[in-house]
Structure 1
């Protein structure tokens, strides 16, 4: 069991460490990051209960509703809700990139516990595939969510609400698309999934770069770093 639990949580820790270390300026307090990870892990239990109830009652009857509502909207909304009420107004959320760190931590907390349950039920043979697909995809939804959280936090006009809406809607659409591919395409699904995952990684790494760039521009504007460091 120890091996299964380790295999289940290791990809999440590795991905969280990767995105945590991509912060070019002030690193976030480890305690805050761990707290977000734990909050995300705890979300697995209400999500499982709600999904089970909807399925048992026959309220979800199409691939679209299962992918975009029962998985995409439910899971991403709960992550968004946790971030908004535990991180968004916190004093440590003081850089554009911070939104990515906390959103990735929350997403990977969720993905890690979900992954452990899956491996306990199915065995360790699927560990590599799980790490490459569902765990990494959750991390990338978190990157996108956190990027727009950062934009909403630091933009100085009426676009705050717009970016907070984007921080929910875009991850829901990405998550729903991922699940829809798995549900709808029963044979040779990897021919669609591999390009989609490449797109997700491209999008996520682009958001990482943009978040750091925006923080650099903000610091330059406030004369906190030399122009040559841009």
Structure 2
């Protein structure tokens, strides 16, 4: 049991540490990041219940509806909802890169609990594959969501456009991931290039968010200089 719990937690913890430590302008308060992680973990239960009802009642099932709507959209919407209503206006969200940290946190909370449940049901031998695919993909969906939330909060214009994209793009990517996994017989031949693309896109957003944070803090320094110098 301890081995399964450890294997279930380890990939999420490793990925969370990676994105957390890349914050070059002071790490986010651990308590807020941990709270976001817990919110993501708790989301597993209502989402699993809704998905179970959909399956029993044969609602939103099929080659398109199940991977994109009852799985991709449902999961990404709840994660987006948590970020928007608990973190987006929070005082700790004070630079664009913070969106990456909080997006990864809520997604990895969800992925970690889901991973533990899966390993309990199916066995420890799936731990490596789960770390490479579902856990890392959830982290990257969260990174991309957080990038656009940060862009929305700190851009001088088009805030609504970036806010829409913060849900739309993770939903499309998550739905595509599910579609490959569920509907394609030879799914691995498509999943490998998809995951390479997803990592490329996620890390590109991380780099862009860090550059946006650089610009944000440099502007703050320029604005504060006259007051510091007494002019």
Give the TM-score band, short-chain normalised: over 0.9
1:28 aligns to 2:28 (yes or no): yes
- Judged with a 3 Å threshold, the aligned counterparts in structure 2 of structure 1 residues 195 and 91 are, in CA distance, closer, same or farther, namely same
Aligned to 2:228: none
Aligned to 1:205: 203
Aligned to 2:50: 50
Q: For the residues of structure 1 that align with 2:120 and 2:144, how far apart are their CA atoms?
A: 30
Question: Post-superposition shift, 1:24?
Answer: 1.5
Q: For the residues of structure 1 that align with 2:103 and 2:221, how far apart are their CA atoms?
A: 28
Q: For the residues of structure 2 that align with 1:46 and 1:109, how far apart are their CA atoms?
A: 14
| Deviating 4+ runs (over 4 angstroms) | none
Aligned to 1:64: 64
> Which moves more between the two structures, 215-224 or 30-39?
215-224
Aligned to 1:216: 214
- State whether residues 61 and 70 of structure 2, in contact with CA within 8 Å, keep that contact through their aligned partners in structure 1: no
1:85 aligns to 2:85 (yes or no): yes
3-state SS in 2 of match to 1:90: coil
Q: For the residues of structure 1 that align with 2:39 and 2:164, how far apart are their CA atoms?
A: 21
Aligned to 1:117: 117
- State whether residues 95 and 213 of structure 2, in contact with CA within 8 Å, keep that contact through their aligned partners in structure 1: yes
Aligned to 2:190: 192
Question: Post-superposition shift, 1:183?
Answer: 1.0
Question: Post-superposition shift, 1:224?
Answer: 5.7
Q: For the residues of structure 2 that align with 1:154 and 1:79, how far apart are their CA atoms?
A: 20
Q: For the residues of structure 2 that align with 1:224 and 1:190, how far apart are their CA atoms?
A: 51
Aligned to 2:229: none
Question: Post-superposition shift, 1:215?
Answer: 1.0
Aligned to 1:228: none
Aligned to 1:144: 144
Aligned to 2:162: 163
Q: For the residues of structure 2 that align with 1:150 and 1:5, how far apart are their CA atoms?
A: 33
User: Residues 72-121 of structure 1: CA distance to partner in whole angstroms, max 9, x if unpaired?
Assistant: 10000000000011100000000100011011000000000000000000
3-state SS in 2 of match to 1:92: coil
Tell me, which stretches of 5 or more residues in structure 2 are unaligned? 224-231
- Judged with a 3 Å threshold, the aligned counterparts in structure 2 of structure 1 residues 224 and 35 are, in CA distance, closer, same or farther, namely farther
Q: For the residues of structure 2 that align with 1:175 and 1:152, how far apart are their CA atoms?
A: 21
